[in-house]
Amino acid sequence: MGRQPPLATELADVGFAYLRAPVMQVTALDTPTPYSKPMEDYVLPSEEKIAVAVREVLSIAPVA
């Protein structure tokens, strides 16, 4: 699972008053990682999926 979920939880708990947008996690889909490269690309996070999530958060709370 890695460090991401506990870190996101800690940020939301400790820094909630400072957040201008919700915490968003970009993770693999809740499924076993497939052997097929096209299916693996679909299941795992990619630069594009991360960029889409960043744009979505910034549209909720633009940087001042």
CATH of the domain at 18: 3.40.50.920
Please report, as a single letter, which amino acid is at residue 7.
L
Q: What does the pLDDT read at residue 36?
A: 95
Report the alpha-carbon angle 11-32-56, nearest 5.
40
The total domain count for the chain is 1
| Mean pLDDT of the 36-64 span | 85
Range of the domain at 48: 4-60
> Which pLDDT does position 9 carry in this prediction?
78
- Please, which pLDDT band fits residue 40 given cuts at 50, 70 and 90? very high
The identity of residue 34, as a single letter, is P
**Above 90 in pLDDT, residue 62?**
no
pLDDT digits (tens, 9 = 90+) for 6-33: 777 787 788 778 777 777 778 888 889 8
